[in-house]
């Protein structure tokens, strides 16, 4: 009987801690759109503006990969892959120093059984560069919140126009 009571106490304590943790997390973590939009809000800012990189890290699974596909003028593509920490270090250097503005112009979400993919049309501007492109996010739901497990993007810098379904007015 003593063991049963001990087990009940442990379970009640665990449930209380789990509820405490979910109550203290920001609301945006409970939705796919919230997580994706918070990521854009964090990286967007004028030259010299500090970003909340700790909040950015909290959007991602620690093992997430962040990638970009860059095309040269001949149409040849290069795929660059970064760990979350590599991307944050680069972001600290370039986004904060030079300024970077990015807006969603469209979004398509596909979700099933705790996984989701978001195709997001975007407009971005930094220094003398302006572009449109597509971000593709992969996310999973752990029962409490959404996590980004991967992000890959590409732009129209090589002259390939953004497809109509991902294009649109700036929001």
Q: What angle do CA 99, 105, 108 make, to 5 degrees?
A: 125
pLDDT-based confidence at residue 63 (cuts at 50, 70, 90): very high
DSSP E strands, the chain: 60-71, 77-83, 101-112, 115-126, 129-141, 146-155
Phi/psi for 49 (5° steps) reads: -75, 130
Structure tokens at 158: 């090589």
- Tell me if 120 sits within 8 A of 103, measured CB to CB: no
What integer pLDDT is reported at residue 9 of this predicted model?
41
For residue range 14-23, list pLDDT tens digits in order: 344 444 444 6
User: Is the pTM value of this prediction over 0.85?
Assistant: no
Residue 5 above 50 pLDDT?
A: no
DSSP 8-state class, residue 45: B
125 inside domain: yes
Mean pLDDT of 161-171: 82
For residue range 18-52, list pLDDT tens digits in order: 444 446 899 999 999 999 999 999 999 999 999 99
149 inside domain: yes
98 inside domain: yes
142 inside domain: yes
Domain that holds residue 155: 2-166
171 inside domain: no
The CATH number linked to 101 is 3.10.450.50
Number of structural domains found in the chain: 1
């Amino acid at each position: 009987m003593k063991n049963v009571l001990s087990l009940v106490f442990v379970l009640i304590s665990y449930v209380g801690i789990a509820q405490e943790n979910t109550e203290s997390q920001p609301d945006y973590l409970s939705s796919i759109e919230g997580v994706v939009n918070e990521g854009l809000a964090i990286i967007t800012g004028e030259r010299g503006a500090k970003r909340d990189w700790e909040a950015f890290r909290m959007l991602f699974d620690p093992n997430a990969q962040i990638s970009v596909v860059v095309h040269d003028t001949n149409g040849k593509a290069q795929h660059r892959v970064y760990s979350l920490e590599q991307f944050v270090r680069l972001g600290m250097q370039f986004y904060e120093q030079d300024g970077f503005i990015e807006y969603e112009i469209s979004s398509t979400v596909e979700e099933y059984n705790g996984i989701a993919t978001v195709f997001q049309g975007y407009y971005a501007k930094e220094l003398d560069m302006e572009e449109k492109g597509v971000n593709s996010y992969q996310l999973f739901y752990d029962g409490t919140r959404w996590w980004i497990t991967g992000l890959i993007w590409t732009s129209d810098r090589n002259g390939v126009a953004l497809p109509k379904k991902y294009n649109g007015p700036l929001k």
